[in-house]
Amino acid sequence: MKIETFKYDNRIVRAFAIATVVWGIVGMSAGLLAAIQLFWPAANLNFQYITFGRLRPVHTNAVIFAFVGNGMFMGIYYSLQRLCKARMFSDRLSWLNFYGWNAIIVAAAITLPLGFTTSKEYAELEWPIDIAIAVIWVAFTVNLIGTILKRREKHLYVAIWFYLATAITVAVLHVVNSLEVPASMWKSYSIYAGVQDALVQWWYGHNAVAFFLTTPYLGMMYYFLPKAAGRPVFSYRLSIIHFWALIFVYIWAGPHHLLYTALPDWAQSLGMAFSIMLIAPSWGGMLNGLLTLRGAWDKVRQDPMLKFMVVALTAYGMATLEGPMLAIKSVNSLSHYTDWTIAHVHTGTLGWNGFMTFSVLYWLFPRLYDTKLWSIKLANWHFWIALLGMMFYVIPMYISGITQGLMWKQFTAEGFMQYPNFLETVLQIVPMYRLRAIGGTLYIIGTFMMAYNLWRTAKSGVFVPDVEAQAAPLSEQAHVDDKHPWGHRALEAKPLLLAFLATVAILIGGAVEIIPMYLVKENVPTISSVKPYTPLEVMGRDLYIREGCVGCHSQMIRPFRSETERYGEYSKAGEFVYDHPFLWGSKRTGPDLHREGGKYPDAWHYNHLENPRSTSPGSIMPSYTWLLSQKLDVTSLPARIGALRKVGVPYPVGYEAVALTELQTQANKVSTNLVTGMIHADADREIIAVIAYLQRLGTDIKNAPVKPAPAAPAVKAAAEANTAQAKN
């Protein structure tokens, strides 16, 4: 048999590995600074670029797309070559993937603090960067499929199926959710509004967790765990079921992020049902991993890499049990908008993604540098510190979330709200925020220890840029293959068919959610009194987006008495038809703002934004002093009005010509109002626009024409009976 000799590319793996460590430290540090600001708001040093609202997306994007993203490419580029017994399809594409992806991350690290954001969670980057992401993702996908096509191993191992599903699904999600109309270089408006935008966003957001944070890492687990344990995966059969069930079910579960909102009830129930079903494939995968260690648990004691892997799998198991539980509507009514969600996601990210990445890094570096790990002791120290850090993070967040959730819902025996002032419920959990920051600090210290250990490992060895390997070409292997290949085996030998079927599997769930979304679009009851925002309110809303207010304030009052008592009338789908993008939010560090309009005078908002503690003693909201001094940039107003019209807001043609005059008139009114509160503010400052927007929030339905109240059924029946009697 002819044997070919070829070389695996280690350079690209090393590049991604180093980027993983560097971005991990950056992303986690951004998270720590954001966490500190939650009990010490002045930690932003009154520097607008690092306030909580702008820093949070820096943290989430850095840890998801920079840390886990580079970690994912590191794992894929190493394992794919070896599982296909082939070098990557194109070294140029590999490096385009590396430099392009990391340039995107640098662009994100610059633009997000500047306030260039779409505000859609985990999809905050503006349209030029969105296009760059699509291009680089295509380069990665071509390289992935190209490598698979030139492989020397006839059948695709389970890890590769997960990589394929990742490449396809992330592309679909990113394109559909990022459809937006640009108003300028760094400002765009989502083509979807309100309910539709929320549904598409959480179809994306949930599946970013599924297909960016989960499937590639499951693929890595299927490769690196058997490698480290020195034994095959526990059940290959189970991996087949795991793969198909997981990718099929995951895509449906997005609506569980929108339970009890204005999203149609059927979509909420569908999301809940599929979320519960997700336990089966998720736990199938976790058990397959843990059982791979059957008979090799002694190795776990000695090998820190396996320790990290075991905790990663356990955290995955906990998070994937907890997720479906949180998707049950009654549980969600308590957990939603609280720190419980934060605890849940950090079990997944710190435990599953973090520990899995650390595990693979500890395994890879000695192999890349042809040496042994510099210090196993230090790696063990890292393990325990990171584990302790994770506990110190998630346990206070559980306590905080449940405490606050219960306080929001607590009524006195007389039927009044026990804690009518939202701030009371915040002050109660501030100690938990301090503990969380300690947890985060410990976790980062561990990461620094790892970076040092890996650096010393690299120094003690010699880098092996190319690893020589041998295998027979596919053409030579055909004759030794089974003469009757069928079933899944045939599929594993046909990568394009497998990719096609995986695409169908993920599109079914997407279609079932998206198609009714268009039906909903035609059926969202329009409320005649709901009107488009005025030019000043548009600018104010864009500032609200720039400052990341949505990170702490929801705009979605759920139909519970505890919410309508606190905030006012519950939110209706028809109120959001001009909201491009929707700003429902997913966390209430501060109170909901949907009925904020008219609640306080303009001067209160001015004082509150200048120094939140002047109106709300003990508040943990940052001061927004720059809004008071910065001039509102109205040069892009006509373009913004034009872009909003393109996405469906019914501004009349030619409105751009009068928009500026209208803006100035309204700004002067706000400025005059402020004078009654002894405040003298120029009408051309940013704060005027923000106040105008806040005062508009949720007020439209109050202007609805008054209709005669419909008669109660009993009264109606009695009246009908009377009429009938009179006739007789």
Residues numbered 335 to 394 that lie near another protein (CB under 8 A) are 366-367, 370-377
Check binding of 422 to another protein (CB under 8 A): no
CB 310 within 8 A of CB 290: yes
Nearest C-alpha neighbor of 335 from the set 550, 551, 558: 558
Contact pick of 176, 287, 438, 512 for another protein (by CB under 8 A): 512
Contact pick of 39, 244, 448, 560 for another protein (by CB under 8 A): 244
Alpha carbon distance 274, 115 (integer Å): 36
Nearest C-alpha neighbor of 382 from the set 406, 357, 400: 357
- Tokens at 386, concatenated: 């990171």
Alpha carbon distance 508, 262 (integer Å): 24
Check binding of 302 to another protein (CB under 8 A): no
Q: Which is nearer to another protein, 471 or 639 (CB)?
A: 471
Alpha carbon distance 79, 163 (integer Å): 10
- Least distance from C-beta 157 to another protein, angstroms? 4
Helical residues (DSSP H) of 150-234, grouped into ranges = 158-177, 194-208, 215-229
Check binding of 232 to another protein (CB under 8 A): yes
Element spanning 466, H or E: strand 466-471
Check binding of 203 to another protein (CB under 8 A): no
Alpha carbon distance 337, 679 (integer Å): 34
Number of C-beta neighbours around residue 557 at 10 A: 24
Q: Which is nearer to another protein, 226 or 597 (CB)?
A: 226
Q: Which is nearer to another protein, 282 or 349 (CB)?
A: 282
**Contacts with another protein, 258-297, as mask; x by CB under 8 A:** ----x-xxx--xx--xx--x--------------------
Q: Which is nearer to another protein, 305 or 343 (CB)?
A: 305
CB 54 within 8 A of CB 550: no
Q: Which is nearer to another protein, 84 or 173 (CB)?
A: 84
* Residues 642 to 701 in contact with another protein, rule: CB under 8 A: none
Q: Which is nearer to another protein, 169 or 178 (CB)?
A: 169
Contact pick of 226, 323, 568, 585 for another protein (by CB under 8 A): 226
Q: Which is nearer to another protein, 27 or 461 (CB)?
A: 461
Alpha carbon distance 498, 493 (integer Å): 9
Q: Which residues, at least 6 apart from 483, have a Cβ–Cβ distance to it below 8 Å?
A: none
CB 138 within 8 A of CB 171: yes
CB 62 within 8 A of CB 30: yes
Q: Which is nearer to another protein, 523 or 668 (CB)?
A: 523
Check binding of 576 to another protein (CB under 8 A): no
Contact pick of 508, 657, 658, 717 for another protein (by CB under 8 A): 508
* Residues 525 to 564 in contact with another protein, rule: CB under 8 A: 525, 559
Tell me the site size for another protein, rule CB under 8 A.
Answer: 80
For strands 187-190 and 4-9, give the pairing.
unpaired
- Tokens at 663, concatenated: 């803006």
Q: Which is nearer to another protein, 9 or 602 (CB)?
A: 9
Q: Which is nearer to another protein, 264 or 622 (CB)?
A: 264
- Least distance from C-beta 563 to another protein, angstroms? 15
* Residues 428 to 447 in contact with another protein, rule: CB under 8 A: none
* Residues 47 to 86 in contact with another protein, rule: CB under 8 A: 79, 82-83, 85
- Tokens at 313, concatenated: 């799998």
**Contacts with another protein, 468-497, as mask; x by CB under 8 A:** xxxx----------x---xxxx-xx-----
Q: Which is nearer to another protein, 414 or 522 (CB)?
A: 522
Alpha carbon distance 592, 337 (integer Å): 10
- Least distance from C-beta 174 to another protein, angstroms? 24
- Least distance from C-beta 446 to another protein, angstroms? 18
Check binding of 599 to another protein (CB under 8 A): no
Q: Is the peptide bond before 581 cis (omega within 30 degrees of 0)?
A: yes
Contact pick of 211, 222, 358, 392 for another protein (by CB under 8 A): 222
Check binding of 159 to another protein (CB under 8 A): yes
Nearest C-alpha neighbor of 171 from the set 204, 124, 219, 125: 204
CB 533 within 8 A of CB 693: yes
Binding range to another protein, per CB under 8 A, among 126-134, 220-228, 340-348, 547-555? 220-228
Nearest C-alpha neighbor of 394 from the set 358, 465, 342: 342
* Residues 124 to 153 in contact with another protein, rule: CB under 8 A: 152-153
Q: Which is nearer to another protein, 449 or 524 (CB)?
A: 524
Contact pick of 524, 543, 593, 694 for another protein (by CB under 8 A): 524
Nearest C-alpha neighbor of 375 from the set 383, 225, 386: 383
**Contacts with another protein, 7-26, as mask; x by CB under 8 A:** -x------------------
For strands 180-184 and 187-190, give the pairing.
antiparallel
Helices (H) and strands (E) in the chain, counts: 30, 4
Nearest C-alpha neighbor of 140 from the set 98, 105, 175, 106: 98
